[in-house]
Amino acid sequence: MPIGYLLLVLLVGAERLAELVVARRNMRWSMERGGVISGRGHYPWMVVLHTGLLVSCLVEVGLTDRPFVPALGWPMLALVIASQGLRWWCITALGSRWNTEVIVVPGLPPVTRGPYRFAWLRHPNYVAVAVEGAALPLVHSAWITALAFTVLNAALMVVRIRCENRALATLPPVPA
């Protein structure tokens, strides 16, 4: 197992753990204000898929001795870093309202700052997830993991985005 790739995947895993800490704090904030959770049925599948991504990256590279191909690996690393930047821009913009689960606080208007100010990009965090899920495995040529995650994530995102859109539709309209 290439140590650099192992460290990269471990860093992404540590970032995921940091997200969970933020999400738990934000969940308490939301629930104290009457937050409503939606989509609990698909959430465990998200956890399994995201954990599986990290494990599969390491397993595929380790078992198949996938090479680091600089022409592919460096651009994919740049995309992994960019996706982390987008993810944390989303987390920062949503503030206490960001969560790994779908939680809305009744009466609060939708967030319209940061990447959420672009009407054509309603779910920028999911763009970050999709890019990272394809790019992280490809940093070290783990194309099976990249393909499997992309297909499974796309199916899960159909469910997740429908759930989130229904939950967001309960919020008051954005003031003009």
- CATH number for position 120: 1.20.120.1630
Which is more confidently placed, 108 or 119? 108
**120, part of any domain:** yes
Is the separation of the CB atoms in 83 and 8 below 8 Å? no
For residues 135 and 25, give the distance between their C-alpha atoms in angstroms, rounded to a whole number.
29
The mean pLDDT of 43-54, rounded to a whole number, is: 97
33 pLDDT more than 90: yes
For residues 128 and 114, give the distance between their C-alpha atoms in angstroms, rounded to a whole number.
14
**161, part of any domain:** yes
Q: How many domains does the chain have?
A: 1
Give the global pTM: 0.93
Q: What is the pLDDT of residues 120-161, one digit of tens each?
A: 888 999 999 999 999 999 999 999 999 999 999 999 999 999
- What's the one-letter identity of residue 27? M
**176, part of any domain:** no
- Name the residue range of residue 39's domain: 3-167
